[in-house]
Amino acid sequence: MSTTATKRTASMAALALTLGSLAVIVGLLVGAHAIVHAAPAPPATGQETAPLILSPVLDSAPYSPLHTSQGNPTRYVAPSGTDSGPCTNPAAPCRTIQYAVNQATAGDEVLIATGVYTSNGQGQVVFLNKTIALRGGYTPANWTTPDPAANPTILDGENSVRVIWIAGGASPTVEGLYLC
């Protein structure tokens, strides 16, 4: 590939990332759910990009977990957990986000403790095909008050896989996560 074509490809990838980030930011500003369709990683250019942080920055309403208003269970995930059971016991969280998502049904919420979460072995970190909420910034000792700045929850595609893939008409809520 020529140098001009390589620069054009890199510029197009940067523009797509910028437009995608802008769409998420606009969605957060108008109070919409943050919906992320991750694309394959752009070609390596030697320049790192800052991770995209999803958080309800302008939402001044107090946090209200889905399970208190809709009767749906909350699922818990922590790097120290084990992928077994329904993930509904905060004292025994699941280890991977994907396992908790697979256990969830529409309307559930998945609370994710601080840590780095990588590929699910299927070409992405998380595959979502149902309308659920993914919320980060928790610790295994505190599942009540999220603090994404103090307790970063990082979904890392390791420059080789998609971070979040949303399919099948799902409309998930994604909050308090660092996507890189």
Confirm if 151 and 111 have CB atoms less than 8 A apart.
no
Q: Which residues of the chain have pLDDT under 50?
A: 4-69
**H/E run at residue 54:** strand 52-54
Confirm if 135 and 176 have CB atoms less than 8 A apart.
yes
**H/E run at residue 69:** helix 66-70
Tell me which residue of 75, 92, 100 sits closest to 140, measured CA to CA. Answer: 92
Residue 72: per-residue pLDDT? 85
* Pairing mode of beta strands 52-54, 177-179: antiparallel
Name the one residue in this structure whose structure tokens are 């889905």. Answer: 66
Residue 83: per-residue pLDDT? 97
Structure tokens that stand for 13 in this block = 């990838």
Residue 40 phi/psi, 5-degree rounding, is: -55, 150
- This prediction has a pTM of 0.66
Confirm if 149 and 175 have CB atoms less than 8 A apart.
no
Residue 68: per-residue pLDDT? 41
Residue 40: per-residue pLDDT? 37
Residue 70: per-residue pLDDT? 55
Confirm if 109 and 147 have CB atoms less than 8 A apart.
no
Residue 120: per-residue pLDDT? 85
In this predicted model, what pLDDT tens digit does every residue of 76-118 receive, in sequence order?
Answer: 999 999 999 999 999 999 999 999 999 999 999 999 999 999 9
